[in-house]
């Protein structure tokens, strides 16, 4: 078994977040090289996300200019198998809910099978617990979502089992619902992507990288979906992570990666996005039923 630990620290004075996380799983082809990651991080880490974030640790003032890694951590969920949601794990979450000296630390440890499947991230899209993710991430019937939420005093990790609202195996896309509040969620990007569009992804995974939009691709027989091909150096564990632009708007969820085996070939990753009207229709219908 592989044990990784995840910590988030919110520094009240600077309004910054230091995040590191666990490795999970991603399907398809091998992960990109460490060099690809370093090059991406060196190029994009200095670019702040032009979207406001409000945290009680910042005395409820609205801050802008969060790094892509910080913004994605605060606007993502982590999906894990319920197999690991035992009493010890829940106790770790409870004891992490404290702040000392203006620093909030959120910590948990999740054991995962090396090379296993059914783990990844998800993108919150409403304030009442609806998330988008990749279908292959929700490989367990009793999957849980972990989410860094806030009340009027502090930010802490909340968790709840997920219920599958919709899934499409061919498109590798799913909508899930958790019975928890998600005050920080992602708005959709409705305008077209261009080759100059800077994109970020990473969710709660081990590294955060940036890249550029390359092209849209159709999914045969799935008219409600489009693939978003990017130059993001996706790593193992990024599946289901939100793909966002510099304004923090959601462009899709990460699905697959391709590593160039020839030196001159650039690594690519693919995100999937459903028609926005269709997503909203499915969520409205689910709310009405429940």
**DSSP string over 33-50:** PHHHHHHHHHHHTTPEE-
- Rounded to 5°, the CA angle 54-58-60 comes to 50
Comparing 54-63, 180-189, 194-203, the range with the smallest average pLDDT is 54-63
Q: Is 44 exposed, middle or buried (0-12, 13-18, 19+ CB in 10 A)?
A: buried
Which strand (E) or helix (H) includes residue 287?
helix 276-289
Write down the pLDDT at residue 203. 65
Which phi and psi angles does 58 have, rounded to 5°?
A: -95, 25
pLDDT in tens, 37-46: 666 666 776 7
Domains of the chain: 2-28+48-186 (2.40.10.10)
Cα 237 to Cα 118: distance, rounded to the nearest angstrom: 10
Kind and range of the H or E run holding 93: helix 87-95
For 38, the token pair is 């370093």
- Token output for 266: 């650039």
Q: Give the model's pLDDT for residue 258.
A: 60
């Amino acid at each position: 078994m592989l044990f990784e630990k995840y910590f988030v620290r919110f520094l009240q004075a600077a309004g910054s977040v230091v995040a590191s996380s666990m490795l999970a799983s991603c399907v398809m082809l091998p992960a990109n090289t460490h060099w690809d990651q370093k090059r991406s991080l060196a190029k994009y880490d200095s670019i702040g996300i032009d979207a406001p974030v409000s945290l009680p640790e910042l005395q409820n003032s609205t801050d802008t200019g969060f790094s892509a890694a910080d913004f994605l951590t605060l606007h993502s969920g982590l999906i894990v198998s319920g197999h690991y949601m035992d009493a010890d794990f829940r106790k770790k979450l409870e004891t992490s809910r404290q702040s000392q000296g203006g620093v909030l630390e959120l910590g948990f440890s999740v054991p995962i099978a090396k090379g296993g499947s059914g783990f990844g991230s998800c993108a919150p899209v409403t304030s009442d617990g609806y998330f988008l993710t990749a279908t292959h991430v929700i490989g367990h019937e009793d999957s849980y979502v972990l989410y860094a939420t806030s009340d009027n005093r502090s930010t802490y990790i909340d968790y709840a089992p997920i219920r599958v609202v919709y899934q499409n195996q061919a498109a590798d896309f799913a909508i899930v619902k958790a019975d928890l509040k998600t005050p920080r969620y992602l708005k959709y990007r409705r305008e077209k992507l261009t080759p100059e569009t800077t994109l970020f992804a990473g969710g709660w995974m081990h590294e955060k990288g940036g890249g550029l939009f390359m092209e849209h691709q159709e999914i045969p027989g799935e008219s409600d979906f489009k693939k978003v091909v990017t130059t993001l150096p996706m790593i193992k564990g990024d599946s289901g992570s939100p793909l966002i632009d510099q304004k923090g708007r959601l462009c899709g969820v990460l699905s697959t990666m391709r590593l160039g085996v020839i030196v001159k070939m650039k690594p690519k990753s693919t995100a999937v996005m459903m028609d926005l009207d269709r997503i909203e229709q499915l969520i409205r219908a689910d709310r009405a039923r429940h």
